[in-house]
Amino acid sequence: MLKNIARSIVTLLLLLIGSVNLTSGYTLRGTLPSNLQLSPKLIESTYFTLESNNTAIADKKAFIQRNRDFAFHNVSVGSYVVNLHSINLQQLSYRINIEEDSVKVYDYIAGNGWESLGHRVPYPIEIPATPLINYEVPRETFSLIEMIKNPMILMSLASLVMVFALPNILNNLDPETVQALQAKQARAGNNDVNHIQKKINDFDMAEFLAKKTSRS
Ligand SMILES: *[C@@H]1O[C@H](CO)[C@@H](O)[C@H](O)[C@H]1NC(C)=O
Ligand SMILES: *[C@@H]1O[C@H](CO)[C@@H](O)[C@H](O)[C@H]1NC(C)=O
């Protein structure tokens, strides 16, 4: 009788210890390279995710701490991938196996299935020093020179010059030449000046500018 009670108590204790272990879980740690300049922007934009192949285990997220460490708390035994997300650091992943008494970290081989493991690497995870990526792309600004370099604009500018310059040139010519020119134009049956004028009228500046700005 006493023996049975003692056995029950021991079983109960073991169960309790087991459940404590289960709820506290493991803490998975890693650190960033010591020579990495931690700008506020980098700290803000960098985080780690922990994903399991067991869909019952929710993904976890961890941010960089002041001592350049990161940690996932309450991680249960299982298989995981840690991903580094950042706009300044190279994307990186590790394959992690958490067992009852050990944490094993491997390089992640993309697209090779969950079972395949890369080289074993030390734990806690040490993120290697890589050059910072600067994704900041200069905004395209409105530039008059760029606009003038556009063939459409060049064409209409040339036409404009013609429209305004031609009458002046004609006025300055002697009457004989003017007559000859007019005769020639009449023969061609196509009034160049009117033709150019029409082209300019057809060119929709607002539409052109809208296209130009929506590209940026
Ligand atoms: C740890 O995770 C388990 C499930 O894996 C959960 O039941 C428990 O509440 C968690 N404990 C803490 C302290 O977050
Ligand atoms: C997750 O991966 C581990 C190791 O490859 C495997 O033993 C386990 O069965 C997998 N679990 C699930 C839920 O797929």
| Torsion angles phi and psi, residue 124, rounded to 5 | -60, 150
Domain membership flag for residue 132: no
Domain membership flag for residue 23: yes
What's the number of domains the chain is made of? 2
Give the domain extent around 175. Answer: 144-215
Ligand 2 touching residue 115 (CB < 6 A): yes
H or E segment to which residue 30 belongs = strand 26-31
Name which of 56-60, 107-111, 175-179 the model is least confident about: 175-179
Ligand 1 nearest atom to the CA of residue 73, by list position: 14
* DSSP 8-state symbol, 94: E
Per-residue pLDDT tens digits for 1-29:
656 655 664 555 444 444 444 456 899 99
Domain membership flag for residue 176: yes
Residue 212: pLDDT band (50, 70, 90) is: low
Question: At residue 68, does pLDDT exceed 80?
Answer: yes
Nearest CA to ligand 1 atom 9: 23
Integer Cα distance of 193 and 171 in angstroms: 15
Per-residue pLDDT tens digits for 41-63:
899 999 999 999 999 999 999 99
Q: How many CB atoms lie within 10 A of CB 72?
A: 21
- The C-alpha R_g of the chain, in whole angstroms, comes to 37
Q: What average pLDDT does range 187-200 have in this prediction?
A: 65
pLDDT of residue 106: 96
Residue pair 100/66 in contact (Cβ under 8 Å)? The answer is no
Domain membership flag for residue 137: no
Q: Are residues 115 and 153 in the same domain?
A: no
Domain membership flag for residue 28: yes
Alpha carbon distances (Å) from 210 to 106, 207, 215: 52, 5, 9
pLDDT of residue 19: 47
Q: Are residues 95 and 33 in the same domain?
A: yes
Residue pair 48/91 in contact (Cβ under 8 Å)? The answer is no
Q: What average pLDDT does range 30-34 have in this prediction?
A: 94
Give me the CATH number covering residue 73.
2.60.40
Nearest CA to ligand 2 atom 2: 79
Of 71, 99, 126, which marks where a domain is finished? 126
Name which of 2-6, 17-21, 93-97, 164-168 the model is least confident about: 17-21
pLDDT of residue 204: 75
pLDDT of residue 213: 61
Q: Are residues 117 and 200 in the same domain?
A: no
Q: Are residues 110 and 188 in the same domain?
A: no
Q: Are residues 14 and 98 in the same domain?
A: yes
Q: Residue 59 C-alpha to ligand 1 middle, in angstroms? A: 13
Domain membership flag for residue 112: yes
Q: Which ligand is nearest to the CA of 74?
A: 1
pLDDT of residue 50: 97
